[in-house]
Amino acid sequence: MARSAQDPWHRGAPPHLPVGAAEALPPVCLLPGDPARVDLAAEVLDDFHVLGQNREFRIGTGRAPGGRRIAVCSTGIGGPSTEIAVVELARLGVRSMLRTGGMAALTSRIAPGTVCTATRAVPGSGAASHYPADTAGPAAHPAVLTAVRRAARDLDEPLTEITLATVDSYYLGQGRPLPGHEERAAARMDVLRGLGVDGLEMETETVLAVAGALGVRAGAVLVAHANRATDDWLEDYRPAQLAMLRVAVRAAALLSDEEPHQAGTAVAT
């Protein structure tokens, strides 16, 4: 069977994610950016094994405490690769997605190491702009927010609810000065502060917008790796990442309780 350039899936397998057509994914998937953080999930999931890696996409599955099977798939950095991951996972039957990763706080009240959940991402990133969303920006699905809040309570983990700006650029776009561009960077920081958001990162708006357009529930559990207001940087963020992942895994298990325990029906795109 020849592959279609219009829709380059081949015999039920996606063109990017390293998953065969016969692999039944769980209904809930965590979405870290960094492929290495897929393996970090092995410390909070039982029976974890990696299915494969292609480019920035590394995917594995394991079992949350209580036995629910959870998938973990890296998205790479930024919106374009994140869109690919969300679309292909949805077409493979994943029905709920949780972005897990790091962010930079813009307010001094969020110290590095704080576990956060995003309620909304303001509009502004490129890949997300192709998908319909509320003019205020895509919001986390209410059921996902409820699961994250309950998970944090169950684990006695403090949780801060935030709004985010997802920015396609890590350097000048996030107001980091480059030689000869100090004034431009300072002006950009003024713009970001004027958005009234609590933090910056590079994927959440895309996850929420694309998932919402496909009828998939989505949210984000993040940990502050840095604070741009105080200029503090979390050098060893592994303990904070694990705390965040425990909340995300617990939330994923709660969401899985609401889903069929086999691969879902593929989403038409």
What is the per-residue pLDDT across 219-236, written as a single tens digit (0 to 9) for each? 999 999 999 999 999 999
Exposure string of 123-154, with b = 16+ CB inside 10 Å and e = fewer, is bbbbbbeebebeeebbbbbeebbebbeebbee
Query: What is the distance, to the nearest Å, from the Cα of residue 83 to the centroid of all Cα atoms in its chain?
Result: 11
Are 155 and 147 in contact, with CB atoms under 8 Å apart? no
Q: What is the pLDDT of residue 123?
A: 95
Other CB atoms within a 10 A radius of the CB of residue 190 amount to 10
CA distance 152 to 82: 26
Are 208 and 215 in contact, with CB atoms under 8 Å apart? no
CA distance 72 to 35: 10
Q: Give every CB contact of residue 155 below 8 A, 6+ residues apart in sequence.
A: 246, 247, 250
Which segments within the chain are labelled E, that is strand?
28-31, 46-54, 57-63, 69-73, 96-105, 115-122, 160-166, 199-201, 217-227, 232-233
What is the per-residue pLDDT across 112-139, written as a single tens digit (0 to 9) for each? 999 999 999 999 999 999 998 888 999 9
For the whole model, what pTM was predicted?
0.95
Are 244 and 123 in contact, with CB atoms under 8 Å apart? no
> What is the identity of the amino acid at 111?
A
Question: What average pLDDT does range 72-95 have in this prediction?
Answer: 97
How confident is the prediction for the chain on average, in pLDDT?
94
